[in-house]
A = this chain, B = another copy of it.
Amino acid sequence: MTTQSQGLHTHVLDTLGLEISSGQCPPGSVLRTDELAQRFDVSRTVIREVIRVLESMHLVESRRRVGVTVRPTETWNVYDPQVIRWRLAGADRPRQLRSLTVLRSAIEPVAAGLAARHATAEQCAELTERALGMVATSRGQQLEGYLEHDIAFHRIVLNASGNEMFARLGDVVAEVLAGRTHHQVMFEDPDPAAVTLHVRLAEAVREGDPEAAERITKEIAVGALHELDVLAP
């Protein structure tokens, strides 16, 4: 899904990034550019560019005479959407999903409060529209449609907060929601209570009620965390 064949660079980067973040190349292990070039059947040029990108994400460290060593997990750029995607696709998806959901539970209530203050009429309208879309797709195994509305909904709230750091978390939230829908066992329709809360949040934002918006979003977050507790060990 993440792999497009739009260039050798992309393919190699994606493969290596996935291998590293999935723990297949544990921290401390070393890679050699020549070996990689041989393995992927590409020139060392391509490998070097990939390594540089991985290095900028602090996934690896390149040192002379020793090679490219995988760095310890604590140094990864875990906010890089690419890294998040790799990790969610890899082994410790549950742990990752939990960290990210806790992050959401801290950010989104505050963002919703700000959104209630700053949202434009246009944003309010689209928010309501998305909430209705969620209602419409909340029953009858329309998970993909629901997911799309859900992602759009949260993205609007984050954007409407007016804070760029919050806004840029839209991609992260999208990854989390997508990961939850696709990888988690999620046969059933979404929780009706959650759907209702989204509708109420849209109302609170439209009415410019920051306290309510914050409170409702906290409830949504609590629900998401609870869901994780139930579905994942």
Measured CA separation A23–B9 after assembly (Å): 28
How many A residues have CB within 8 A of the partner chain?
A: 36
If over half of A's interface residues share one DSSP class (helix, strand or loop), that class is named, otherwise mixed; here it is helix
Q: What's the number of copies of this chain in the assembled complex?
A: 2
Contact of A80 with B77 at beta-carbon distance under 8 Å, contacts A52-B9, A52-B49, A103-B163 already known? yes
A-B contact pairs, 18 of them (CB 8 A): A9-B52, A45-B45, A45-B48, A49-B49, A49-B52, A73-B164, A76-B168, A77-B80, A78-B165, A79-B79, A79-B80, A79-B165, A100-B165, A102-B165, A103-B166, A105-B110, A106-B106, A106-B110
Contact of A102 with B163 at beta-carbon distance under 8 Å, contacts A80-B80, A107-B107 already known? yes
Is A152 engaged at the interface, CB distance under 8 Å to the other chain?
A: no
Contact across chains for A168 and B79 when beta carbons are under 8 A apart: yes
- Given A56-B82, A102-B110: 13 more A-B contacts, CB < 8 Å: A52-B53, A53-B53, A56-B57, A56-B80, A77-B81, A79-B165, A99-B164, A99-B165, A100-B165, A102-B165, A103-B107, A103-B166, A105-B110
